[in-house]
């Protein structure tokens, strides 16, 4: 996250008082309001290195809060989020990052990377980014880091921002690529100059998921010249993996930790980015997907029936591509978004990365998760039939324009082109996304999703008398029996479009919470809600497609208010004289009481397990700091040694003893001593990697285990980290209205040289710790 270059407020330091204790008045506790008012957020800068030359070519600005409880960025941003001031904090960090860079001496040929907080883009306009672009210092090039979540939430605004940022000479990077499949889907639309690989790609063992990500990233880099940057490089093995994945830039502790300014004495170079020409397609609302076709593309004519089948084929391609694909479509008018279309696009929403559907009178969210737009009456999209599918290795678009020749709807003719030219598909997709409305949270008064679809009155073909099925037997009691049964009974006609209800008994009306005339002609999916289990729905669809019986318990919703109830559903096919399935009969039983009782038993069992797990956790946790205790760390170190043996790595154990802690206890009391221990625990944890381990041994002693170290350099790296931890501990700690200073003696042992197991390593580190105090 980008931050400012302002230094934290400095406190005065008085003379030493007692063993290692320094006293001085301290500032009051810091809040987010204080930080924003006083401008005390500042930046540290982590180097980005060119792997082939080792030259530092850029720095990423990372936010830090003032000394105190909000120093760590995760706590600072969490506090801002809770206080509703996240947008202000994010803007302050981005703006101040440039000032901090200049104050730290960052200048050409170096480049500065600045992040964007996705949650801010969910709610705030993006003009502040453009203000930063206009004020950017001429001697320092900037790369703006964004995530796929920002595009998925506000695609129109962000596409325009990317274009305008490029127009002032900035670059664009997509961050954490690989963390979510959606980032792969949006890469062609953002055309990033830099693709930043999520750190797990270099730190985890290769597998199918990593292979899929790298196929997509390398294909994009080959097509566009984008630069690939690997994050999380912490040792030689990570560096080798980064090179293997195709990265040419690297970032991580192996090259340097975040600091106040440029790495002293480091060789520098210039970051070469691909030449990007701003694309104006999303800035001109008159540009439509059909207008994106090159002038020399031959057009064909086709009736609506052919376009329907071509569209369905592209939709099937999108389902095959899965979460790494984007689908954009137009439907001219809302009436063309039929119940059958609704079913298909519900599948697309569930199984692809991003889907939008635009048309006259279509709402901005035609289905939960399906994005739309409020189209201008003169928008040329209203006269088009467009379907685009875009993924890492696939691009196709059906782009058609209504010829307006009148006649029956099914016979309307269109001029169209079916293109697989990637540039054209990208432009057409961007033209539609440029119209998509920002995602809005539903209002509290909004109806339940399952009541949102319009009710189509049953036609003559839809109406169905159950007597037709029984007239051949002359059994006049059947209708009375169906009307009297307490179980819901429904019949659907699978021969009609969207398989509507053609009969319901009174019990079904009561279960659905709607009268018969509002039920007939609708597909049963209206009973479902966003919380209905997709697996249960898929089981029903598979059974109907195969013409088989189905038994399933599914969560449904009752009436306009959407009251949930559990439905034990049994579906059975009915065949006609020729043996073909014509109808399905469904019986529904409300088993809510049974399901809730079963869930209550499961919850009670889970609570018991949670209670036992909590007891076990407390037995392995230090109650003061919340850190693991010696017992838990011993288990973790044994596991780390086992993994290190399999990977030819090393494990280091650091014994940390505080010097001067007793004087704090004696002078200020045990409460102050406890507060000091908590502060030291936080400082130690903030300077360790996620894979490292931290525990409190007892009293004023802590243990640190460093995992995954190269055997050849393990001892040197461990000693270096020990020195950094000691330096961090030695910084003043605020206790009430005073500050104290303590020191740390750190002993280091390394597996396998200094011991074969945890007890041996602990003994060796303990002895060396005492040697450092001598």
CATH number of the structural domain spanning residue 118: 3.20.20.450
Work out whether the CA dihedral 727, 728, 731, 736 comes out positive or negative: negative
Say yes or no: 192 and 45 in one domain.
yes
Query: In this predicted structure, which of 430-444, 541-555, 730-744 has the lowest mean pLDDT?
Result: 430-444
> Rounded mean pLDDT of 337-342?
83
Q: What's the pLDDT score for residue 759?
A: 93
Q: What's the pLDDT score for residue 135?
A: 59
- From residue 369, alpha-carbon distances to 151, 204, 751 in Å are 14, 32, 52
User: From CA 326, how far away is CA 417, in angstroms rounded?
Assistant: 20
Query: In this predicted structure, which of 7-16, 502-511, 664-673, 751-760 has the lowest mean pLDDT?
Result: 7-16
Q: Does position 165 have pLDDT exceeding 90, yes or no? A: no
User: From CA 401, how far away is CA 307, in angstroms rounded?
Assistant: 11
Q: What's the pLDDT score for residue 138?
A: 59
Per the model's pLDDT, the better-predicted residue between 67 and 329 turns out to be 329
Say yes or no: 364 and 505 in one domain.
no
Q: Does position 464 have pLDDT exceeding 50, yes or no? A: no
Q: Does position 654 have pLDDT exceeding 50, yes or no? A: yes
Q: Which of 259, 279, 298 is the last residue of a domain?
A: 259
Number of domains in the chain: 4
Identify whether 340 is part of a domain: yes
Say yes or no: 355 and 424 in one domain.
yes
Per the model's pLDDT, the better-predicted residue between 634 and 27 turns out to be 634
- The share of the chain scoring above pLDDT 90, in percent, equals 33
8 Å CB contact between 178 and 213: yes
User: From CA 446, how far away is CA 307, in angstroms rounded?
Assistant: 35
Residues contacting 45, CB < 8 A, separation 6+: 59, 60, 61, 62, 100, 101, 104, 106, 258, 259, 260, 261, 262
Say yes or no: 254 and 308 in one domain.
no
Q: Which of 408, 434, 460 is the last residue of a domain?
A: 434
Q: What's the pLDDT score for residue 119?
A: 55
Say yes or no: 665 and 581 in one domain.
no
Per the model's pLDDT, the better-predicted residue between 149 and 520 turns out to be 520
Angle of helix 182-190 versus helix 422-433 axis, rounded to 10: 100
- From residue 484, alpha-carbon distances to 303, 476, 570, 571 in Å are 50, 14, 18, 20
User: From CA 442, how far away is CA 460, in angstroms rounded?
Assistant: 37
| Model pTM above 0.75 | no
Q: What's the pLDDT score for residue 137?
A: 61
The secondary structure element, H or E, covering residue 587 is strand 581-590
User: From CA 614, how far away is CA 292, in angstroms rounded?
Assistant: 61
The 3-state DSSP composition of the chain as helix, strand, coil percent (nearest 5) reads: 40, 25, 35
8 Å CB contact between 754 and 761: yes
> Rounded mean pLDDT of 160-175?
80
Residues contacting 82, CB < 8 A, separation 6+: none
Alpha-carbon torsion angle 327, 332, 335, 338, nearest 10:
-30
Residues contacting 465, CB < 8 A, separation 6+: 503
Q: Does position 566 have pLDDT exceeding 90, yes or no? A: yes
Instruction: pLDDT band for 750, please (50, 70, 90 cuts).
Output: very high
Locus of tokens 């490089």: 233
Peptide bond preceding 752: is omega within 30 degrees of 0, i.e. cis?
A: yes
User: From CA 372, how far away is CA 362, in angstroms rounded?
Assistant: 7
Per the model's pLDDT, the better-predicted residue between 119 and 664 turns out to be 664
Work out whether the CA dihedral 301, 307, 310, 314 comes out positive or negative: positive
The secondary structure element, H or E, covering residue 387 is strand 384-390
Say yes or no: 254 and 293 in one domain.
no
Q: Which of 594, 612, 642 is the last residue of a domain?
A: 594
Q: What's the pLDDT score for residue 150?
A: 59
Closest CA to 544 of 525, 520, 527, 563: 525
Say yes or no: 50 and 178 in one domain.
yes
Q: Does position 269 have pLDDT exceeding 90, yes or no? A: no
CATH of the domain at 380: 3.30.870.10
Q: Which residues pair with 735 in a beta bridge?
A: 738
Per the model's pLDDT, the better-predicted residue between 9 and 76 turns out to be 76
Q: What's the pLDDT score for residue 477?
A: 63
Say yes or no: 649 and 766 in one domain.
yes
User: From CA 120, how far away is CA 146, in angstroms rounded?
Assistant: 12
Identify whether 455 is part of a domain: no
- From residue 402, alpha-carbon distances to 10, 65, 301, 418 in Å are 69, 58, 10, 15
Say yes or no: 247 and 293 in one domain.
no
Q: What's the pLDDT score for residue 577?
A: 83
Say yes or no: 735 and 688 in one domain.
yes
Q: Does position 531 have pLDDT exceeding 60, yes or no? A: yes
> Rounded mean pLDDT of 449-469?
38
Work out whether the CA dihedral 219, 220, 226, 227 comes out positive or negative: negative
Exposed, middle or buried, 34 (CB in 10 Å: 0-12/13-18/19+)? Answer: middle
Say yes or no: 429 and 544 in one domain.
no
Identify whether 625 is part of a domain: no
HSE, CB side, 13 Å, CA atoms: give it for residue 441: 4
pLDDT tens figures, 500-514 = 899 999 999 999 999
Q: What's the pLDDT score for residue 186?
A: 83
Say yes or no: 112 and 248 in one domain.
yes
Per the model's pLDDT, the better-predicted residue between 744 and 499 turns out to be 744
Q: What's the pLDDT score for residue 478?
A: 65
Cα 697–Cα 700–Cα 705 angle in degrees, nearest 5: 40
User: From CA 747, how far away is CA 131, in angstroms rounded?
Assistant: 51
CATH of the domain at 637: 3.30.70.270
- From residue 40, alpha-carbon distances to 31, 45, 64, 741 in Å are 11, 16, 9, 22
CATH of the domain at 532: 3.30.450.20
Region of 251 please: left (phi>0), alpha (psi -120 to 50) or beta.
beta
> Rounded mean pLDDT of 149-162?
71
pLDDT tens figures, 290-311 = 999 998 899 999 999 899 999 9
User: From CA 328, how far away is CA 634, in angstroms rounded?
Assistant: 54
Identify whether 566 is part of a domain: yes
pLDDT, the chain, mean: 81
Q: Which runs of consecutive H residues, i.e. helices, occur in 620-709? A: 630-647, 661-668, 670-686
Identify whether 493 is part of a domain: yes
Per the model's pLDDT, the better-predicted residue between 602 and 761 turns out to be 761
pLDDT tens figures, 102-145 = 777 777 788 889 887 655 554 444 555 556 555 556 567 888 88
Q: Does position 702 have pLDDT exceeding 60, yes or no? A: yes
Q: Strands 141-146 and 111-115: what pairing? A: parallel
Q: How many helical (H) and strand (E) elements, i.e. helices and strands, does the chain have?
A: 25, 25
Strand, coil or helix: 142: strand
Cα 502–Cα 503–Cα 506 angle in degrees, nearest 5: 150
> Rounded mean pLDDT of 29-52?
84
> Rounded mean pLDDT of 472-482?
57
Q: How many residues does the chain have?
A: 774
Instruction: pLDDT band for 151, please (50, 70, 90 cuts).
Output: low
Q: What's the pLDDT score for residue 300?
A: 93
8 Å CB contact between 292 and 388: no
Q: What's the pLDDT score for residue 445?
A: 34
Q: Does position 20 have pLDDT exceeding 70, yes or no? A: no
In which domain, by residue range, is 512 found? Answer: 481-594
Q: What would the two tokens of residue 638 be?
A: 């044994």
Per the model's pLDDT, the better-predicted residue between 422 and 161 turns out to be 422
Closest CA to 721 of 305, 235, 272, 362: 235
> Rounded mean pLDDT of 312-317?
93
Exposed, middle or buried, 220 (CB in 10 Å: 0-12/13-18/19+)? Answer: buried
Query: In this predicted structure, which of 444-458, 599-613, 751-765 has the lowest mean pLDDT?
Result: 444-458
Q: What's the pLDDT score for residue 63?
A: 84
Q: Strands 413-419 and 488-493: what pairing? A: unpaired
Locus of tokens 């559907």: 357
What is the CB neighbour count within 10 angstroms for residue 410? 9
User: From CA 258, how far away is CA 586, in angstroms rounded?
Assistant: 64
Identify whether 173 is part of a domain: yes
pLDDT tens figures, 231-266 = 999 999 999 999 999 999 999 989 988 888 888 888
> Rounded mean pLDDT of 402-425?
88
Q: How far apart are the first and last CA of the chain?
A: 42
Closest CA to 56 of 338, 264, 290, 355: 264
Q: Does position 618 have pLDDT exceeding 80, yes or no? A: no
Q: Which runs of consecutive H residues, i.e. helices, occur in 275-385? A: 304-321, 339-351
User: From CA 45, how far away is CA 206, in angstroms rounded?
Assistant: 30
Identify whether 544 is part of a domain: yes
- From residue 190, alpha-carbon distances to 37, 156, 199, 279, 525 in Å are 35, 12, 21, 10, 36
pLDDT tens figures, 382-402 = 999 999 999 988 999 999 999
Identify whether 108 is part of a domain: yes
Q: Which residues pair with 183 in a beta bridge?
A: none
């Amino acid at each position: 996250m980008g931050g400012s270059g302002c230094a934290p407020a400095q406190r005065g330091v008085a003379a030493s008082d007692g063993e290692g204790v320094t006293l001085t008045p301290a500032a009051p506790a810091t809040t987010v309001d204080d930080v924003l008012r006083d401008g005390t957020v500042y930046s540290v800068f982590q180097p980005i290195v060119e792997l082939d030359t080792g030259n530092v070519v850029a720095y990423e600005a990372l936010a830090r809060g003032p000394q105190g409880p909000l120093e760590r960025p995760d706590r600072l941003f969490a506090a801002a989020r809770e206080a509703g001031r996240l947008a202000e904090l994010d803007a302050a960090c981005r703006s101040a990052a440039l000032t901090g860079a200049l104050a730290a001496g960052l200048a050409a040929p170096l480049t500065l990377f600045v992040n964007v907080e996705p949650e801010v883009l969910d709610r705030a306009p993006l003009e502040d980014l453009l203000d930063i672009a206009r004020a950017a210092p001429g001697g320092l090039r900037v790369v703006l880091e964004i995530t796929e979540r920002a595009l998925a939430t506000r695609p129109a605004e962000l596409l325009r921002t990317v274009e305008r940022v490029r127009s002032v000479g900035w670059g664009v990077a997509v961050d954490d690529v690989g963390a979510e499949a959606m980032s792969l889907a949006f890469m062609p639309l953002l055309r990033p100059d830099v693709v930043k690989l999520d750190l797990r790609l270099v730190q985890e063992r290769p597998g199918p998921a990593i292979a899929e990500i790298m196929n997509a990233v390398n294909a994009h880099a080959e097509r566009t010249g984008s630069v690939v940057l690997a994050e999380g490089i912490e040792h030689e093995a990570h560096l080798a993996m980064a090179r293997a994945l195709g990265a040419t830039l690297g970032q991580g502790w192996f090259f340097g930790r975040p600091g106040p300014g440029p790495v002293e004495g480091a060789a520098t170079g210039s970051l070469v980015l691909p030449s990007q020409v701003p694309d104006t397609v999303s800035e001109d609302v008159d540009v439509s997907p059909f207008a994106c076709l090159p002038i020399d593309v031959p057009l064909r004519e086709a009736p609506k029936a052919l376009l329907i089948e071509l569209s369905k084929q592209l939709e099937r391609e999108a389902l095959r591509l899965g979460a790494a694909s984007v689908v954009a479509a137009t439907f001219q008018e809302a009436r063309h978004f039929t119940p059958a279309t609704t079913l298909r696009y519900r599948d697309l929403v569930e199984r692809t990365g991003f889907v939008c559907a635009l048309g006259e009178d279509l709402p901005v969210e035609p289905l939960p998760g399906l994005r739309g737009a409020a189209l201008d009456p003169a928008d040329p999209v209203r006269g088009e039939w467009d379907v685009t599918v875009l993924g890492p290795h696939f691009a196709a678009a059906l782009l058609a324009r209504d010829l307006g020749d009148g006649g029956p709807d099914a016979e309307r003719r269109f001029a169209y082109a079916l293109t697989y030219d990637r540039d054209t598909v990208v432009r057409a997709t961007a033209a539609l996304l440029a119209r998509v409305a920002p995602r809005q949270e539903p209002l509290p008064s909004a109806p339940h999703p399952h009541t949102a679809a319009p009710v189509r009155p049953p036609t003559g073909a839809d109406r169905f008398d159950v007597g037709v099925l029984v007239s051949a037997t002359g059994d006049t009691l059947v209708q009375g029996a169906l009307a009297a049964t307490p179980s819901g009974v429904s019949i659907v006609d699978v021969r009609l479009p969207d398989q509507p209800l053609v009969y319901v008994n009174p019990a079904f009306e009561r279960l659905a919470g709607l009268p018969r005339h509002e039920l007939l002609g609708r597909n049963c999916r209206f009973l479902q809600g966003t919380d209905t289990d997709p697996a249960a729905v898929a089981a029903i669809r598979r059974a109907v497609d195969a013409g088989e019986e189905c038994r399933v318990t599914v969560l449904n919703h009752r009436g306009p208010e959407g009251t949930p109830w559990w439905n034990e559903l049994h579906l059975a096919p009915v065949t006609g004289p020729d043996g073909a399935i014509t109808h399905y009969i469904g019986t529904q039983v409300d088993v809510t009481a049974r399901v809730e009782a079963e869930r209550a038993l499961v919850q009670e069992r889970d609570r018991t397990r949670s209670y036992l797990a909590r007891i076990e956790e407390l037995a392995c946790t230090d109650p003061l700091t919340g850190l693991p205790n010696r017992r838990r760390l011993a288990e973790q170190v044994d596991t780390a040694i086992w993994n290190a043996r399999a990977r030819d790595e090393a494990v280091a154990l650091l014994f940390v003893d505080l010097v001067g802690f007793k004087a704090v206890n004696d002078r200020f009391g045990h409460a102050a001593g406890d507060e000091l221990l908590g502060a030291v625990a936080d400082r130690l944890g903030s300077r360790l990697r996620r894979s490292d381990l931290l525990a409190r041994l007892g009293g004023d002693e802590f243990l640190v285990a460093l995992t995954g170290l190269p055997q050849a350099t393990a001892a040197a790296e461990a000693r270096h980290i020990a020195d950094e931890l000691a330096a961090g501990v030695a910084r003043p700690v605020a206790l009430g209205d005073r500050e104290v200073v303590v020191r740390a003696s750190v002993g280091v042992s390394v597996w396998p040289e200094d011991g074969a197991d945890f007890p041996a390593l602990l003994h060796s580190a303990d002895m060396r710790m005492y040697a450092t105090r001598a």
